[in-house]
Structure formats: C-alpha cells, structure tokens
Amino acid sequence: MAMILNELLLPIFVVLITLILGAGVVDYLHHATSALGKQMSLRRSLNPLAPLYRLGLALSQQSVITEHPDRLNLRLAPALYFALAALGLAVVPWSADFIPADLVTGMVLWGAVEVLATVVIFLCGWSANAHLPLLGAYRYVSLGLSYMLVSMFVLIGVALPAESLQLSAVVESQREIWNVLRQPMGLPLFLIVGLGLTFWGPLDFASSPDLDRGISADQSGASRLVWQLARYAMLVAFSFMAATVFLGGWLGPWLPGPLWLVLKATLVLLILLWMGHNLPVMTPDKFISVAWVLLLPLSFVDLIWAGALALW
C-alpha cells in the first residue's frame, strides 16, 4: 500500500496541487500587475484573498449558454486543456529521486501537449455554436504551426547536449552550464511559444478584443471560471517546463531541489506575465510574417548552434 501511495498517488497529488495553487498565484500576479498605477484597484488586487473573491464572484454569476451548443464538448474542452497541462507537468523532474513520470520520451510528450492543445482550443470555440468563438478558434489554429515549429527546433536543441529526450537527462546535462547560457536564443524563443500556447498577452488571438473575446465571448459564470483555471494551469506547466530545460530545473546549491525548481518556474512565470502586459499586440498577419521570416530562422540557427556545440 505504501509503495502504491508513493509511486502513483503522491505524483498525481503533487501535479494537481501545483497546478491549482499555481493558477491562484497566476490570477493574483496577473491582476496585481494589471492594476499598477491605479491606486484603488491596486490595493484591492494586492489583497491576498483577492483570488478567492473573484472565485466567489464568478460562481455567483449566471452562466449564459448559446443556442444549441454542443454541451458535451463545451464542458469537455477546459477539462482536456487542464489534463494536457497536468500531462506536461508530470514529466518534469522535481529532484533526482522524485519524477512523477520519468518517460524516456518526455520531450516528445510535451510536443504532443502543444499540438493537442490546439485541437482542444478549437473544440472550445467550435462547440459554442456561435460565430465569434468559431472565428477565434479558426484564427488560433491558423497561427499554431508558426510557433510549434519554433518549439520543435528549440527543444531539439536542448536535447542534443543531453543526447536524450528524457527530461531528467536534460537536467543532468546542465550541471556545468545551464542551457540558457549554452543556447542564449533558446529561452526567448521558447517564451514566445509559451505566449502562443496559452494565447496570452500579445499572442492572444483566440480571445482577442477585436473578436469580443473570441472563444470566450459567450462564456460567463462557472464555465468561464473553469476555462480560465485551465488556461492558468497551462501557463504554470509551461513555466515549469521552461525552468527545467533552460534553467537547470532542480539543480542548485544549498536549497532543496524542489524549491529551486519552484523558484525558477516562478521567475519564468513573472517574465511571461511581464511580456503579456508590456509587449505590443500584433495583428495576426503581422505575427505570421514575424514568425516565418524572423522567429523560425532564428530557431533553426539556435538548433545549428546547439548541434555545433554538441559536436565540439
């Protein structure tokens, strides 16, 4: 019984608690940084209980449903998005001895999470049976390939020094030098992938204001809350992945390994939130041009650089 608890239930518990608590931290930091410069709303946002207040407010609102929606898929989409975040976080090693799912193809699984997230987000927009959510879903899918290719080249680059697709091996390969220093272009490019994966800030094409919140246009009350929870959870999972493959994961002096991982993931999360609030918003056609003309060639250069270092 103790072995089952340690090998199965404990990893599931750690992953779920990390995503739920992390989502609360994202909500708190997001609203606090949004309220900077507005004294009254800033004081309210800095209240530690502010996320719980917003939770209660969302649950008290009436849920609005469009006419003849696909109710099953409408409810299934946020659950699947959250499940994908949990799968992505499960392959992240917390220490040398604690890895929820130490797969030899952990990097491949993360790539599958990115692809399937596109399908789930489209499912959310399509199942509402309304034109604005559907337009947001189609827009997101049409732009997805442009950053997924960037992610592919960047992740192959961090796998080369480790000579493995196993995330624990990627962490071990950073004992002498972190990948953020070994491949300086990798982390900035991967952060842009994170903005696209979570449709956050300047890359929020799925629920942008010009579509009246797109896939979220007809969401309210508990349904909107659940989708927002899943979105924040994916942001947390991505931060842990970025901290693992570029910042040495759990490696660090003096402090326990899991604490180092949490600190590094929090740093990545703060950077993503800052990017979301400060980077200029691009039109979809502008982003496509930047992605194919600039970001994709840079990711290929990063891969060549990583390969040259691995051979040297």
DSSP states of 11-33 as a string? HHHHHHHHHHHHHHHHHHHHHHH
Distance (Å, rounded) from C-alpha 233 to C-alpha 197? 12
For residue 158, the one-letter residue type is: V
Measured in whole angstroms, the distance separating CA 101 from the mean position of its chain's CA atoms is: 18
Token code pair at residue 56: 């209660």
Q: Is the pLDDT of residue 134 over 80?
A: no
Q: Which of 264, 203, 204, 215 has its CA nearest to residue 238? A: 264
| pLDDT the model gives residue 254 | 86
Whether pLDDT at 229 is above 60: yes
Give the pLDDT of residue 118: 87
- Within 10 A of 61 (CB to CB), how many other CB atoms are there? 13
Of 64-68, 137-141, 222-226, the least confident: 64-68
* Token code pair at residue 156: 């192959």
Measured CA to CA, the distance from residue 70 to residue 47 in angstroms comes to 38
Round to whole Å and give the CA distance between 275 and 280: 9
Please tell me which residue, 281 or 54, carries the higher pLDDT value.
281
Q: What is the pLDDT, as a whole number, of residue 267?
A: 92
Of 159, 267, 253, 139, which is closest to residue 205 (Cα–Cα)?
139
Q: Find the helix or strand (DSSP H, E) in which 131 lies.
A: helix 131-162
Could you tell me which residue, 181 or 252, shows the higher pLDDT?
181
* Residue 9 pLDDT > 80: no
Mean pLDDT, the chain, whole residue set: 80
pLDDT number for residue 245:
92
pLDDT in tens, 53-104: 555 555 555 666 666 666 777 778 888 989 999 999 999 998 888 888 888 8
Range of weakest confidence among 37-46, 172-181, 266-275: 37-46
Reply yes or no on whether the pLDDT at 111 is more than 70. yes
280 burial via Cβ count (<10 Å: 0-12, 13-18, 19+): exposed
Indicate whether 10 pLDDT > 90: no
Which has the minimum average pLDDT: 119-128, 148-157, 214-223?
A: 214-223
